Amino acid sequence: MALQSFVWLCALLCNSMVWSVPIRCQLEGNLVQTSHSLLKDVGGHFPLQCIKENVFIAFPSTAFASNGTAEQTDDVKMAIYETLHRINSLFDNDNTPAQWDQKKLEDFQNIIYRLVEESKCMTGRNPGNEDTQSPVFNRISALRTYFDSMARILQEKNDSFCAWEIIRRELVRTLHFILEHCSGSLRWSRRI
């Protein structure tokens, strides 16, 4: 009887230790990958009728650069979070093209929203209140400029189909870049 009580007590202590270990907040790589695929497939290839309206938007790849130190890895995670936050903001208005696959678009928006909500705890910082002297500020500033350019294109072109196609192409490229160059900053769960 004493042995059985001892085993139960050990099991209880082990469980309490496991449950009390904080879960590290990270961005889910599988969800970023799924959102990339959904956005890529939501409208097909870049439409020929939009080539004349095509606009170059300089991609801030330096916002995701890292030398592998813990601090820079955290800064890259913050840049990824800011990117997802800005993508979510772009899709806040409901003026997306009716020609797009609405189910895939809705799934994409839900995943982006989920990623933003679940990763707010990632750095313990409010992304709007960075110290202008901190290294992460330059990353966030470059991303804000990039996304402000996209918002300006949508506004200038009155949320036209071609404007959204330009933005979709840029966002697909951005998510692809994150997956290809920053996958170490994402948490990857095994699929069954």
Q: What are the tens digits of pLDDT across the range 59-99?
A: 999 999 988 888 888 889 999 999 999 999 999 877 899 99
Burial class (CB in 10 A: 0-12, 13-18, 19+), 64: buried
Considering only residues 1 and 165, tell me which one the structure prediction assigns the higher pLDDT: 165
Task: Using pLDDT thresholds of 50, 70 and 90, give the confidence band for residue 19.
Answer: very low
Q: 174 pLDDT exceeds 90? A: yes
Q: 46 pLDDT exceeds 70? A: yes
Q: Around Cβ 104, how many Cβ atoms within 10 Å?
A: 16
Considering only residues 25 and 33, tell me which one the structure prediction assigns the higher pLDDT: 33
Question: What distance, in Å, lies between the first and last C-alpha atoms of the chain?
Answer: 41
pLDDT attached to residue 5: 56
pLDDT attached to residue 129: 53
Average pLDDT, the chain: 85
Q: Distance (Å, rounded) from C-alpha 167 to C-alpha 108?
A: 14
Domains of the chain, each with CATH number or no CATH: 26-187 (1.20.1250.10)
Q: What are the tens digits of pLDDT across the range 111-143?
A: 999 999 988 876 555 445 555 667 788 899 999
Q: 21 pLDDT exceeds 50? A: no
